[in-house]
Amino acid sequence: MLRCIQCHFDASVLVKADSGGSDRTCSDPDGVIIHNGSMSKHEGKTTPPMIPLPGYVEYPPQAMLARAREFADDMQRRRSVRDFSSRGVPRGIIEECLRAATAAPSGANQQPWRFVAVSDPAIKRRIRAGAEAEEREFYAHRAPEGWLEAIAPLGTNADKPFLETAPWLVAIFIRRFDRRADGSKVKHYYTDESVGLATGLFLAACQRAGLATLTHTPSPMGFLNEILGRPKDMERPFLLLVVGYPADDARVPDIDRHGVSEVTDWK
């Protein structure tokens, strides 16, 4: 097999039989393989490397329906929880849920999500203080009347004890761009969509694992960059997720969800 010695792309299919069999770099001076990490050039044609679809599993329609129903039932049991137990959750479970999140599709496969998973009580305390400071301003001054009306059924206020009680806080950042080795910027595309999708997969994975979650949105969230040491120019906080076991006496607002028929048109 002929591999690029920089990026390990298997270039053997692109190389003429008489071009020699030894490993070479993408930018090999003889021009047979020019590979910048995502594209290969051979005899004037640029082609992205393609592989057979890995890991697809087809189920018979009955099994599909059963699996879809079971998953939907599980997701319908998910509630945003604000009363958390302080019981610990092993890091390995959070890691697997993050592994699900990082499988999300993203614009140009740029994977513009960054996660900071926090279990350190001192950092959680600082995050709670930062969030409550913003929330006090929000509830007392910043929130327009209509917004306060919209969230009234949830019974929320500026006190966020769960930010210290819950075993894990997962801060999700949108990475706006990366930098090349020479310092120039690589812009990321569809960042909100991509990170939203990753967040959804993370929440679904937590639910599947039996963990309670809350999407928390203190605004603005710049304090998270400072506390968690994330670069302000490159990364924007997206959501703060709270993850753990619900408290034994956890209560949630008595609200319901739209049915599929209320939110779907079939054509």
Which of 119, 217, 252, 253 is close enough to bind ligand IYR by CB under 6 A? Answer: 217
Residue 224 sits at φ, ψ, to 5 deg, of -70, -35
Of 134 and 235, nearer to ligand IYR (C-beta) is: 134
5 counts as binding ligand IYR under rule CB under 6 A: no
Rounded to an integer, what distance in angstroms lies between the CA atom of residue 186 and that of residue 49?
21
Of 19 and 217, nearer to ligand IYR (C-beta) is: 217
Of 31 and 155, nearer to ligand IYR (C-beta) is: 155
Rounded to an integer, what distance in angstroms lies between the CA atom of residue 189 and that of residue 176?
8
Tokens of 161: 């004890």
Strand partners, 239: 172
Residue number closest to ligand IYR, CB atom:
156
Tokens of 218: 């203190």
Please choose, out of 19-27, 36-44, 66-74, 212-220, the segment that lies near ligand IYR by the rule CB under 6 A: 212-220
Across the chain, the runs of DSSP E, i.e. the strands, are 34-35, 40-42, 45-47, 113-118, 168-175, 177-179, 185-187, 212-216, 235-244
What is the contact mask toward ligand IYR in residues 87 to 126, using x (rule: CB under 6 A)?
Answer: ----------------------------------------
- What is the 3-state composition of the chain as percent helix, strand, coil, each rounded to the nearest 5? 40, 20, 45
Cβ atoms < 10 Å from Cβ of 211: 22
Q: By the 8 A CB rule, do 109 and 231 touch?
A: no
Number of residues that bind ligand IYR (CB under 6 A): 8
Of 33 and 214, nearer to ligand IYR (C-beta) is: 214
Tokens of 66: 């059963």
Per CB under 6 A, contacts with ligand IYR among 142-201 are 151, 154, 156
Of 136 and 176, nearer to ligand IYR (C-beta) is: 136
Distance of closest approach, residue 61 Cβ to ligand IYR, in angstroms = 38
Rounded to an integer, what distance in angstroms lies between the CA atom of residue 112 and that of residue 100?
15
Of 39 and 154, nearer to ligand IYR (C-beta) is: 154
Of 12 and 215, nearer to ligand IYR (C-beta) is: 215
Rounded to an integer, what distance in angstroms lies between the CA atom of residue 206 and that of residue 163?
17
Per CB under 6 A, contacts with ligand IYR among 227-246 are none
Distance of closest approach, residue 40 Cβ to ligand IYR, in angstroms = 47
Cα angle, residue 246 at apex, residues 149 and 214 outer, rounded to 5°: 45
216 counts as binding ligand IYR under rule CB under 6 A: yes
> At 46, which amino acid appears?
T
Which of 218, 237, 244, 246 is close enough to bind ligand IYR by CB under 6 A? Answer: 218
Strand partners, 22: none
Please choose, out of 162-170, 172-180, 211-219, 233-241, the segment that lies near ligand IYR by the rule CB under 6 A: 211-219
Q: Which residues bind ligand IYR (CB under 6 A)?
A: 135, 138, 151, 154, 156, 216-218
